[in-house]
């Protein structure tokens, strides 16, 4: 199981960096979807099945659809894109930065081994996802409802072509 998690972490990192570094926006969006899918696998491996399903369907699916439609709406010629935004040039320092940060973080981690927090007081007895989500987190569910309604208003307010 550890080995699978390590492989997934590596793939997640690669997908994330590709999403940032790739020159073509379409490929970036696909790399982002890949990162979401791999994150869903990690979630599944850590025992959170429902969150994994959500990540896979909503983030890897819906967000990608949104991005791809936005990209197709604003399609620019490939050469123009490269010349106009100079992404390759402006992003070229990223690998070096990531390597430095990575080395520093690993050194810190090696010096001070990760301390697991002390035993958590058993404040909540229920550890059943269904009960926690629908009963203990009702405020959040109402919050979600309001967020989605606001999202609907957003679509009405921002996406209409002509008034």
Site for another protein in 124-163 (CB under 8 A): 124, 126-129, 132-140, 142-144, 146-151, 153-159, 163
Tell me if 115 sits within 8 A of 50, measured CB to CB: no
Nearer to another protein, 78 or 149 (CB): 149
Q: Is 102 in the site for another protein (CB under 8 A)?
A: yes
Q: Is 107 in the site for another protein (CB under 8 A)?
A: no
For the chain, give the number of residues: 163
Q: Is 112 in the site for another protein (CB under 8 A)?
A: yes
CB atoms within 10 A of CB 31: 20
Instruction: Convert residues 82-101 into a mask of x (bound to another protein by CB under 8 A) and - (unbound).
Output: --xxxx--xx--x--xx--x
- Residue holding tokens 């790739």? 22
Instruction: Convert residues 1-40 into a mask of x (bound to another protein by CB under 8 A) and - (unbound).
Output: -x--xx--x--xx--xx-xx----x--xx--x--xx--x-
Tell me if 39 sits within 8 A of 54, measured CB to CB: no
HSE-up of residue 117 (Cα within 13 Å, Cβ side): 3
Contact with another protein (CB under 8 A) among 7, 50, 72, 78: 50
- For residues 61 and 55, what is the distance between their CA atoms, to the nearest angstrom? 9
Distance of closest approach, residue 148 Cβ to another protein, in angstroms = 7
């Amino acid at each position: 199981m550890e080995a699978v998690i390590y492989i997934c972490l590596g793939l997640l990192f690669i997908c994330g960096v590709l999403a940032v570094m790739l020159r073509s926006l379409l490929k970036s969006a696909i790399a982002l979807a890949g990162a979401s899918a791999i994150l869903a696998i990690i979630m599944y491996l850590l025992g959170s099945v429902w969150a994994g399903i959500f990540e896979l369907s909503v983030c890897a699916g819906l967000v990608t659809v949104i991005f791809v439609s936005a990209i197709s709406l604003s399609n620019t010629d490939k050469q123009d894109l490269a010349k106009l935004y100079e992404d390759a040039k402006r992003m070229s320092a990223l690998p070096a930065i990531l390597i430095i940060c990575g080395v520093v973080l690993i050194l810190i981690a090696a010096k001070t081994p990760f301390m697991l927090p002390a035993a958590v007081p058993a404040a909540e007895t229920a550890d059943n996802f269904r009960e926690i989500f629908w009963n203990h987190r009702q405020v959040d569910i109402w919050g979600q409802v309001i967020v989605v309604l606001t999202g609907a208003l957003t679509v009405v307010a921002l996406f209409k072509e002509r008034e």
